[in-house]
Amino acid sequence: MEQKWGLKKPSDPYSIPKHILRKYLPANPVIIDCGAHVGADSVELAKIFPKASVHSFEPVPTIYNHLKQNTRHYQNITCYQLALNDNNGIAKMYVSSGSSDASSSLLVPTGHLSEHPDIYFDNTIEAKTITLDSWASQNNIKQVDFLWLDMQGAEFNMLTASVDILPTVKAIHAEVSTRETYKGGVLYNDFKKWLEERGFVVSAEAIPSGADMGNVLFVRQ
């Protein structure tokens, strides 16, 4: 879901408070924010973990420029105009507009069009993509402690290609879908089962009743 500036109120049904991450992460975690949008979550995480290294990925050029501007005062945030994916190369990205510019995806919008008719996908861009493993190797990063994933259905594809880095991850906050919103997107039950098979359990869920999407925090047992 589109993230807002500032700490979320407990009444927000889509929100899992970030401060609970202190229970699961070291004081100096390596954090990935993928689908960083304009940087609201990156900034929050950088404030909660001032010794963290936050790596923020946003492929849409105009939004990336806002991300760079909004995080410029945080020396522990590094921005990348890239989309994490299951391959290295170039991929078509479906860019959202209308009531939200935070729904862009590497996957073709399907149910999202009817669930959210005030959000449009009239434009596409060619986005540069990279796997998490390739990015980590290129940057000499051996482990990642936390993944904050807001990838509009493409989370699962990225994770399946993270063969080297995923075993080092301690916690994952992911947007999940309860029904198809983007073509080929893995639904929540299958997503959860896959992560459980790799040692993760659900710590918190924020999926309002009847909603097509929500957020879940997974932690390694």
Level-2 CATH architecture, domain 18-87+131-175+184-220 = 3-Layer(aba) Sandwich (3.40)
What is the pLDDT at residue 174?
Answer: 98
Among 164, 177, 172, 176, residue whose Cα is nearest residue 148:
172
Read off the pLDDT of each residue in 40-58 and give the average, rounded to a whole number: 98
Model confidence at 8: pLDDT above 60: no
Model confidence at 4: pLDDT above 80: no
Tokens 């954090």 correspond to 31
> What confidence tier does 141 reach under pLDDT thresholds 50, 70, 90?
very high
State the pairing for strand pair 30-34/146-149.
Answer: parallel
Strand boundaries in 42-168, DSSP class E:
53-57, 77-80, 83-84, 89-98, 119-130, 146-149
> What confidence tier does 12 reach under pLDDT thresholds 50, 70, 90?
confident
Domain residue limits, the chain:
18-87+131-175+184-220
What are the structure tokens assigned to 209, written together?
Answer: 């009743």
Read off the pLDDT of each residue in 47-69 and give the average, rounded to a whole number: 98
Q: Phi, psi (5° rounding) for residue 156?
A: -65, -45
**Residue-wise pLDDT tens digits, 75-106:** 999 999 999 999 999 999 999 999 999 999 99
How far are the Cα atoms of 2, 14, 57, 97, 214 from residue 121, in angstroms, in the given order?
A: 16, 23, 20, 6, 21
